[in-house]
Structure 1
Amino acid sequence: MKARKIVDEMDSYVPGRSQDEIAEEFNLKKDEIIKLGSNENPWGPSPKAVEAIKNELGSINRYPESQLKELVHEMALYSGVKDSQVIVGGDGADEIIDVLAKTFIDEGDEFIVPLPSYMYYEYLLQQYGASPVYARWDLDKNELDVDSIFDAITPKTKMIFLCSPNNPTGTLIEKEVLADIAAKNPEILIVIDEAYFEYSEVTNRDLIDEYDNVFIIRTLSKVLGLAGMRVGYGLACEEIIEYMHRIKPVFSLTRLSFVAALSTFRDRDYIAESIRKGIESRQYLYDEVSKIDSLYVFPSKSNFMLINVRDTGFTASELALELMKKGIIVRDCTSFKGLDEYWIRISICTLEDDEKFIEILKEVLN
């Protein structure tokens, strides 16, 4: 049976490689592999979340909550917004993007993504018949080329995706820039991806009260340590949230994900410590990689950083392979549109593993 035309023409999304894959391929011990490729929290989940999951195991024969009122309230408190301005999604923030598309995208619409950025926006929206139009990040200045956003807008533009901090560059977009784009384009939905906002200690949440066309995406997969539980959420004006609830699957959040998320939001000490350790690790990695003459590393406001490797004699895929052989997983960014074959991305790890990575990186480069 032949698939839909758009599915037949699409390329699969390329995620970072797992420890299991690397262990099997290179005959390594899984627990000795250092994973710097997927932007996760390396210190594990909140102990309170783990305990809540254990206590809920006996109830997994029952359907999960549908309204998620307790969790919505905790997310609203954490974000400084009203409960009615929050929507919760399973499958991390990816379901939120999918529901946005189902709610607002018609076939033939266009959406803008500055390159390089998180490519899952494109992967999801194309499934609904929308076409990407590319703006750009200025890699020389390490900032969004704002004029390229305005130049890309057409009468068909329905959404503009702006990741801040941006993945993979780690760059923040100034709030004044985001507000200007929203103010000048009231009929276009400005989607601000704040997956990594805790590491930057900057948020744009107040824009949802000023502009009815601003939507903020967030996730529990980074600072909050629940990548494996797949929980995301969105913040917007009440009208947008209400429309999305008409489309959103009723039971997309499992019982275990619900209690894990609830317990994590209530564990503010854990969140604060995750942020502190993440920023400490980021600074250590930036300082140490900056000392290696053949590498150029971008300063970052996230839990990862982008590195130009073209002066090493390796392509990104070649360097990633040599590191994998020694039990180090980094992200080969060759699949990111807007980047050539000379960029890798590394994410934070424990300081002990950071030190091992730097030692092995120097060994490979020499």
Structure 2
Amino acid sequence: MSIDDKVRSIVKEFKAYVPGKSKEEIARNYGIDPERIIKLGSNENPWGCSPKIEEKLINEVSNLHQYPQPINPELMDEISKFTKIPVENIIVGGDGADEVIDNIMRILIDEGDEVIIPIPTFTQYAISAKIHGANIKWAKFDEENGFKLDVESVLNNITEKTKAIFLCTPNNPTGNVIPTEDIKKIVESTDALVMIDHAYIEYSKEEYDLTSWALKYDNVLILRTFSKVFGLAGQRVGYGVTSKKVVDYMMRIKPIFSLTRASQVSAITALLDKEFFEKCLKEGIESREEIYNGLKKFKQLEVYPTEANYMLVKVKNGMNSSEFCEALLKKGVIVRDCYSFEGLEPYYFRVSIGTSEENERFLKIMSEIVE
């Protein structure tokens, strides 16, 4: 009997996750100087992380032979101050928000339970739900209506078997927020856990931040991350904000030491360096407007409004998204081909914010390809 006969059938159905391409991969495949490559495909902070983190990490090296604290009180306290949420309502994950997603599926899902996911959206929701035995009920962000959430497509899928509903706002990859009244309608229509993914909420207007709802509703869990504006995508720190009861259940099955000493120190320092945070946020929003206004000038593209640090673009010059993204790669520009997102036609790509210099070069290269 081979390993193929032992692997679960559900695993065999999965396609491998398609991450954004790295500079090293493009340099190797196309013979391009890595210093000339513009990476705008993974929704990262182009200004990096707080410069104060380097010194803190160096000081932490002598402690790396010791296990980290399962719950770091300083980190919990700083997250609490940042979110204005009590420590007892916060759970931190060591693989970004992905760990929180996976852990909530582990405590909720029995074989045959249902999870509602509007598409197109972040692909990890479906992967985690399916591997734990859930049946996926697909709702939709309406393409013909600017990818506005079709609320009825969510409500009509709610049954007694519904255990969780995922709502990404701002949504990845479309960049738009879900109106608060629509989320309220969903939350109050069910006792299923509504997962509101706020990975990019810092880039949005304050009125769209629903983190406080975790204290208002027992069936709400807010997902947050350090991977975006804090510039710590490489340290994999995410957290959930929810009821104390849900936190208690998740702590029973959470990997105890998933958050490393290095990631804890990095996250604490990032939260304390408020000046760098505000700088990145301000320049990130300016960069977003710069790219958006630049792309809007091309008649062969349709650019969607966004409240995140990226935007969705539809190609209308006769090329599909893979052909278009390949042309960009040959010129040293990495964007995200969205062909792998369920619910999108093969004409979309996603572009992240860059520095002013990167944006200028990107738009110049875009003009060469589009026209």
Q: Does the TM-score normalized on the shorter chain lie above 0.5?
A: yes
The residue aligned with 2:203 is 199
- Structure-to-structure mapping, 1:198-277, within 5 angstroms: 198-201=202-205, 202-277=208-283
| TM-score using structure 1 length | 0.98
Matched, 1:351 2:327: no
The residue aligned with 1:7 is 11
Q: CA deviation at 1:337?
A: 0.6
Q: Is the 8 A contact 1:179 1:207 kept in 2?
A: no
The residue aligned with 2:183 is 178
The residue aligned with 2:367 is 362
Which residue of 33, 39, 44 corresponds with 1:35?
39
Matched, 1:150 2:155: yes
Residues 157-203 of structure 1: CA distance to partner in whole angstroms, max 9, x if unpaired? 11100000000111111222212211111x20000000000000331
Residues 80-116 of structure 1: CA distance to partner in whole angstroms, max 9, x if unpaired? 1100010000111111111111111111111111111
| TM-score using structure 2 length | 0.97
The whole-number CA distance in structure 2 between the counterparts of 1:30 and 1:51 is 26
Matched, 1:137 2:138: no
Q: Alignment partner of 2:322: what SS? A: helix
The whole-number CA distance in structure 1 between the counterparts of 2:54 and 2:327 is 36
Q: Is the 8 A contact 1:133 1:152 kept in 2?
A: yes
Q: Alignment partner of 1:279: what SS? A: helix
The residue aligned with 1:162 is 167
The whole-number CA distance in structure 2 between the counterparts of 1:215 and 1:116 is 20
Q: Alignment partner of 1:132: what SS? A: strand
The residue aligned with 2:120 is 116
Could you tell me which amino acid in structure 1 is paired with residue 223 of structure 2? I
- Structure-to-structure mapping, 1:18-33, within 5 angstroms: 18-33=22-37
The whole-number CA distance in structure 1 between the counterparts of 2:183 and 2:246 is 18
Q: Is the 8 A contact 1:112 1:134 kept in 2?
A: yes
Residues 119-142 of structure 1: CA distance to partner in whole angstroms, max 9, x if unpaired? 111011111111211101012222
Identity rate of aligned residues, in percent?
45
Could you tell me which amino acid in structure 2 is paired with residue 183 of structure 1? E
Which residue of 289, 303, 310 corresponds with 2:309?
303
Q: CA deviation at 1:154?
A: 2.0
Q: CA deviation at 1:312?
A: 1.1
Matched, 1:107 2:82: no
Residues 265-289 of structure 1: CA distance to partner in whole angstroms, max 9, x if unpaired? 1111111111101100000001010
Could you tell me which amino acid in structure 2 is paired with residue 316 of structure 1? S
Q: Alignment partner of 1:204: what SS? A: coil
Q: CA deviation at 1:153?
A: 1.4
Q: Is the 8 A contact 2:95 2:237 kept in 1?
A: yes
Could you tell me which amino acid in structure 1 is paired with residue 300 of structure 2? S
The residue aligned with 1:51 is 55
Q: Alignment partner of 1:228: what SS? A: coil
Moved over 6 A (4+): none
Q: Is the 8 A contact 1:333 1:344 kept in 2?
A: yes
RMSD: 0.9
Q: Is the 8 A contact 1:13 1:123 kept in 2?
A: no
Q: Alignment partner of 1:227: what SS? A: coil
Which residue of 289, 300, 304 corresponds with 1:294?
300
**How many aligned residue pairs are there?**
364
Could you tell me which amino acid in structure 2 is paired with residue 60 of structure 1? L
Q: Is the 8 A contact 2:298 2:370 kept in 1?
A: no
Could you tell me which amino acid in structure 1 is paired with residue 86 of structure 2? K
